[in-house]
A and B are shown apart, each in its own frame.
Chain A
Amino acid sequence: GAGVSQSPSNKVTEKGKDVELRCDPISGHTALYWYRQSLGQGLEFLIYFQGNSAPDKSGLPSDRFSAERTGGSVSTLTIQRTQQEDSAVYLCASSFVPYRQTNPGYTFGSGTRLTVV
């Protein structure tokens, strides 16, 4: 597609349930990033993929969070046993290559707003 697509756009789940968030990056973009944003604030890095491998997963808050990427394309972020503090907007971004000064920057999706009740 022309842009980064995320689904669902909104998700309300009960505490303790598992959720899966999907990101479909721009075709040909090898780098894919997941960020979390709470209450319209700055972005918190979660994980970075280069192709199908994740060289940096240092931002994942706990072992309840995991992510995978298949075929160098679609990525899924899974949160197990959701907690209320997981409520946030989860943003996915992709870029042609990892960050470079001449890089046109990340292209972000519109995010998935997750609410844990």
Chain B
Amino acid sequence: TQLLEQSPQFLSIQEGENLTVYCNSSSVFSSLQWYRQEPGEGPVLLVTVVTGGEVKKLKRLTFQFGDARKDSSLHITAAQPGDTGLYLCAGPLRGYQKVTFGTGTKLQVIP
């Protein structure tokens, strides 16, 4: 059973387009993180959202944590080829000391 489901699984868009990636769960998370992974590398942390309803912006990336802390979204404005990669959400289950990762969204931005 996958605790964190991401959609879409794959996304191929033209440079300059906007996109949104979703991370959903039936479980409540105390916080959620988003990572980006490029081919041949390990995931790199982008952001941590902690409070229900929280919105964080990182240049052209906007992250939102759902009010009920069961879901999160990542919106990219005016995508660039450098945004290409695998986007992973991740979060700890209550009482756990490890992080569980989502199924991933593979993004390709075509120049």
The answer for the CA separation of A44 and B8 in the assembled complex, in Å, is 19
Which A residue's beta carbon lies closest to that of B44?
A108
Which A residues lie within 8 Å of B50 (CB)? 101
Docked-complex contact A93 and B97, CB < 8 angstroms: no
B74 adjacent to chain A (CB < 8 Å)? no
Docked-complex contact A98 and B97, CB < 8 angstroms: yes
Interface range on chain B: under 10, 10 to 19, 20 to 34, or 35 or more? 20 to 34
Docked-complex contact A105 and B40, CB < 8 angstroms: no
Which B residues lie within 8 Å of A33 (CB)? 98-99
Q: Which residues of B contact A (CB under 8 A)?
A: 2, 4, 6, 30-31, 33, 35, 39-45, 48, 50, 86, 88, 90, 92, 96-104, 106
Beyond A42-B102, A43-B43, list 20 extra A-B contacts (CB 8 Å): A31-B97, A33-B98, A40-B104, A41-B103, A41-B104, A42-B4, A42-B6, A42-B101, A42-B103, A42-B104, A45-B98, A45-B100, A56-B96, A56-B97, A56-B98, A99-B99, A108-B41, A109-B42, A111-B40, A111-B41
